[in-house]
Each structure stands twice: as C-alpha cells, then as structure tokens.
Amino acid sequence: MKLIINENEQLVAETVSQRIIELVKAKPASLICIAGGDTPLLTIEALIKASQAGKVDFSQTQFVGLDEWVGLGRETKGSCIQTLYDAFFDRLEDVSNEQICFFDGKAEDLAAECARVDAFIDERGGMDFILLGIGLNGHIGFNEPFVPVDVNCHVVELDDVTKRVMSKYFDTDLPLTHGISLGMKQILAAKEIYLVATGAKKVDIVKQVIEKAPTVSIPATLVKEANTTLVIDKVAASGVMA
C-alpha cells in the first residue's frame, strides 16, 4: 500500500481528483466507484470544477454505487444515492442515467438487486477505480468488521458503531438496521483503490490501518494487499507521525 500525506483535506481532494482525471483521460470508459458520505465531497467538488472547465470528459465513463442503507431511496436526504446525485451526477452535463448503476435500498428483492449490480460490474470487466472512506470501526462501504471477504454484493447487518454515527446523515431518526454493499471480493479486485481519511476523528483508525496486518476485524486493512493508495491529511496522520 502506498501512503500519501497531504497538508490538509483540500490537498487530499486535489490528489484524488487528479488521479481520477488522469484515469478518465487514459481510459474514457472507465468504471469508477465513488463512496457516499462526507469523505468524497471535496474530491467531487474538484471533479465538478474540472468538468466545467473542460479539463475532463465523463461522457463515456461508467459509475457504480458503493453502498446504500436498506429501506432508503433517492427521496431521503442523507441516503447514499441522494448524496451522490445531488453533489455529483446531477451537476455533470455529460453524464446520463444509463452510465450509472446504483443500489435501490427500497427494492423488494434485495438478492435480485445484488445480482443486478454484480452483473453491471462483471459486464464491464470489474472496476477500474474505487474511492473509499474509512469508518470509525474500519468498515469500507457497509463491509462491517468480520464480514466474509469472498462475496460480491450483499446485504449486511449494521455494526453498532455505524448505527451510532449514522444520525449525522439524517434530519430525523431512522430505524435502519441493514446496508447493501459491494463486497470485499469486488473491492479487492478493483484495478486501483484510493482509501481516504481526514481529520481528528480518523486518527485512531488510520493508525490501526497503517500498523496492523490485514484482518477481517478491521476491513480497511484488507485492501493493503491490493493496488491501494492511502491518502490522508496531516491531522489524520498525527497518530503515526508522532
């Protein structure tokens, strides 16, 4: 795993966005996965600015969602699909819905939903690039501690830590118990993984990811053996720079 430490979160976003731009220029039809949540928002803003300035063309690029809260759809503020559409996809004039595959958290048949997303990825030869955040418990996507590593898209029972922090995404209390997510098998097979963490809240988990051997108890450590770049700011790196 390669490690990049930037001065601040804005420079982290510039590092990640520049890599995505380079990839899309080299392979316009790349399949890219960008996590929901707060982690990628500055990167997304950098990509929007680059697109508006004509520095990158996403008209052939394919996108797949990382995860979704079971029971939520695009109409719910804080859902993964709502976050990415509002922040990114709806602001790109050269991207159509046909280029995007996202989990429907309200689907009646979640197994069929998993199969649909699996097929989208398989038909395109796997993911070229995936941008991941790191949960406080080390989860990536909704791959919580101790989830199987040999599965593709699946439904996961949410860890207690995830349930505690999820309130920051929503205006009201929601009785969410499960998530639907790309599996570790697909994530590890991505041609390029960028793992991103910034800020004081991520100091402890960043230290664990860097110092511990790969373990299912901390899913983010599992990507260390893939083609992974960990990009963090100096604050998040403070636990390993002391």
Catalytically annotated residues: 67, 137, 139, 144
> In the sheet where 100-101 sits, what is the strand order?
2-6, 228-233, 193-197, 129-132, 31-34, 62-64, 100-101
From 143, 159, 233, select the one nearest 197 (Cα to Cα): 233
Residue type, 200: A
From 23, 24, 4, 1, select the one nearest 12 (Cα to Cα): 4
Contact assessment for residue 230 and residue 6, using Cβ atoms and an 8 Å cutoff:
no
The Cα 146–Cα 195 span in angstroms is 19
- Residues 165, 170, 171: CA angle, nearest 5 degrees: 130
Q: How far is CA 187 from the centre of its chain?
A: 10
How many other CB atoms are found less than 10 A from the CB of residue 90?
10
Contact assessment for residue 113 and residue 102, using Cβ atoms and an 8 Å cutoff:
no
Rounded to 10°, the helix 41-52/80-87 angle is 30
The Cα 234–Cα 242 span in angstroms is 11
